[in-house]
């Protein structure tokens, strides 16, 4: 029912803002590029017949009123900021699909009981300040003045960058919404993975967002001469670390849902002819089920202790970050399943390994997400791509889901 040509054309127009020499897009938060992108989206929102405003965090909001003036709002959103040299679909698809849905409803004179808003959140990616999701945190009322002191690589704080864009960081608290004012939040996003491609499906219903647990492993043995130290008396921190990494892989793989990644590794002293005396490595462990993730963590810790004991080296594990996974509301997954049927799309469920703005709303309202197939699973790269037809399928499923959540007042032609 949505206009797929219009959605596609708008994606192309937005892709021209912040282009890089490498063929990608860089639109950092509170930059001129992000401002231009928001101005363009704001113009699309006006065309869609929405009432447009920006809140104190710089979130751009287009609203369609409901027939019941006291009913809580249904939110759709995503972001228009990007990583350095990113792609054209991560974020923009969700924002432009939300606008397209509301424009379609207005054109077809479809009324809903609940009001509906399309939101372009400020700074989802966190590429500039290594922080991220500033807009959605502000909407959830969780962002603090202390957090606005995070600096970019030029030493500019979030608060200063906001002020430079005419925003008032002291008043960011006013962007907060109350649970009673929001019925649900739903976001359409590219999958950033290969599951839908492998299943040969255009759209997926997200069951939950995995929460990352970040640990730092420090293994201390004894450095020594590679030529003069017999194998039997060595305290090699790297061979112990290697065994721990294998244990991580095995424990994560056992569950079928957990993913564990060692992405950073440092050896000391790091000489070709020296036994490593100290090794540091990271672990990123995720699952959408917190209990399963914590159980895997426990097994890894136990096996790591055992390995280090056997090899006579000392193990220290530091916790860097522990974020709880966020389940998607069953009510929204059910509505999305029905919306798939109405859109002629096969309903298929999958989890999200990546975090998104909706994670910030776990205490605010029921959240849901829809994924659109990503070519080769690529994202955060100029090669990021989803087809016009897949984007349209996603927007149609979003439309029917939102109509169900916002309680449609008339029959819709499918």
Q: In whole angstroms, how close is the CB of 82 to Zn ion at the nearest point?
A: 9
58 vs 53: CA distance, rounded Å:
9
Residue 178, sorted as left (phi over 0), alpha (psi -120 to 50) or beta, turns out to be beta
Given the complex with Zn ion, which of 55 and 90 has the nearer CB atom? 90
301 vs 303: CA distance, rounded Å:
6
244 vs 248: CA distance, rounded Å:
6
Q: In whole angstroms, how close is the CB of 16 to Zn ion at the nearest point?
A: 19
Q: In whole angstroms, how close is the CB of 89 to Zn ion at the nearest point?
A: 9
Please work out the total of residues on this chain that contact Zn ion, with binding judged by CB under 5 A. Answer: 2
Other beta carbons within 10 angstroms of residue 411's beta carbon come to 7
- Provide the pairing of β-strand 265-268 with 278-287: antiparallel
Residue 130, sorted as left (phi over 0), alpha (psi -120 to 50) or beta, turns out to be left
Given the complex with Zn ion, which of 79 and 114 has the nearer CB atom? 79
| Residue ranges in 295-354 that form contacts with Zn ion under rule CB under 5 A | none
Given the complex with Zn ion, which of 90 and 290 has the nearer CB atom? 90
Given the complex with Zn ion, which of 91 and 366 has the nearer CB atom? 91
Q: In whole angstroms, how close is the CB of 1 to Zn ion at the nearest point?
A: 25
Other beta carbons within 10 angstroms of residue 353's beta carbon come to 16
| Binding track over 57-96 against Zn ion, x by CB under 5 A | ---------------------------------xx-----
Given the complex with Zn ion, which of 10 and 278 has the nearer CB atom? 10
Query: Would you say 217 and 281 are in contact if contact means Cβ atoms under 8 Å apart?
Result: yes
Sequence-separated (6 or more) residues with CB below 8 Å from residue 46: 52
Q: In whole angstroms, how close is the CB of 90 to Zn ion at the nearest point?
A: 4
Given the complex with Zn ion, which of 90 and 191 has the nearer CB atom? 90
Q: In whole angstroms, how close is the CB of 177 to Zn ion at the nearest point?
A: 21
Given the complex with Zn ion, which of 352 and 404 has the nearer CB atom? 352
Q: In whole angstroms, how close is the CB of 370 to Zn ion at the nearest point?
A: 13
Task: Using alpha carbons, list the distances in angstroms from residue 280 to 70, 250, 276.
Answer: 56, 20, 11
Query: Would you say 346 and 201 are in contact if contact means Cβ atoms under 8 Å apart?
Result: yes
Q: In whole angstroms, how close is the CB of 321 to Zn ion at the nearest point?
A: 19
Four-CA torsion 387, 40, 69, 179, nearest 10 degrees: 70
| DSSP three-state, residue 330 | helix
Given the complex with Zn ion, which of 156 and 378 has the nearer CB atom? 378
Per CB under 5 A, residues contacting Zn ion are 90-91
């Amino acid at each position: 029912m949505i206009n797929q040509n219009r959605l596609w054309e708008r994606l192309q127009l937005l892709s021209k803002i912040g282009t890089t020499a490498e063929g990608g897009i860089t639109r950092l938060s509170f930059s001129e590029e992000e401002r231009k992108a928001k101005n363009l989206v704001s113009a699309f929102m006006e065309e869609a017949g929405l009432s447009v405003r920006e809140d104190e965090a710089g979130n751009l909001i287009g609203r369609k009123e409901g027939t019941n003036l006291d009913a809580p709002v249904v939110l759709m959103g995503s972001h228009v900021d990007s990583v350095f040299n990113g792609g054209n679909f991560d974020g923009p698809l969700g924002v432009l699909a939300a606008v397209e849905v509301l424009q379609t409803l207005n054109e077809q004179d479809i009324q809903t009981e609940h009001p509906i808003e399309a939101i372009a959140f400020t700074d989802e990616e966190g590429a500039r300040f290594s922080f991220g999701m500033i807009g959605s945190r502000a909407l959830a009322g969780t962002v603090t003045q202390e957090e606005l002191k995070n600096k970019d690589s030029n030493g500019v704080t979030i608060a200063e960058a906001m002020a430079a864009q005419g925003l008032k960081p002291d008043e960011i608290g006013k962007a907060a919404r109350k649970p009673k004012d929001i019925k649900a939040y739903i976001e359409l996003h590219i999958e950033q993975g290969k599951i839908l491609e492998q299943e040969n499906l255009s759209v997926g219903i997200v069951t939950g967002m995995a929460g990352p647990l970040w640990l730092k492993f420090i293994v201390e043995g004894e450095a020594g001469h590679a030529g003069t130290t017999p194998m039997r008396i060595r305290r090699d921190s790297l061979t112990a670390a290697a065994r721990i990494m294998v244990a991580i892989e095995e424990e994560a793989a056992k569950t079928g849902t957990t993913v564990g990644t060692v992405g950073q590794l440092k050896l000391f002293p790091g000489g070709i002819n020296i036994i490593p005396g100290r090794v540091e490595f990271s672990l990123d462990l995720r699952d959408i089920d917190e209990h399963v993730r914590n159980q895997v963590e426990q097994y890894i810790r136990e096996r790591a202790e055992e390995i280090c004991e056997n090899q006579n080296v000392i193990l220290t594990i530091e916790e860097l970050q522990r974020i709880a996974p966020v389940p998607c509301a069953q009510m929204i997954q059910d509505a999305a399943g029905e919306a798939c049927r109405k859109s002629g799309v096969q309903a298929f469920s999958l989890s999200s390994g990546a975090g998104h703005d909706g994670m910030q709303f776990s205490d605010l309202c029921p959240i849901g997400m829809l994924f659109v197939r990503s070519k080769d699973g690529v994202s955060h790269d100029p090669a990021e791509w989803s087809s016009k037809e897949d984007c349209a399928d996603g927007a149609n499923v979003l439309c029917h889901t939102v109509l169900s959540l916002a309680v449609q007042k008339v029959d819709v032609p499918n």
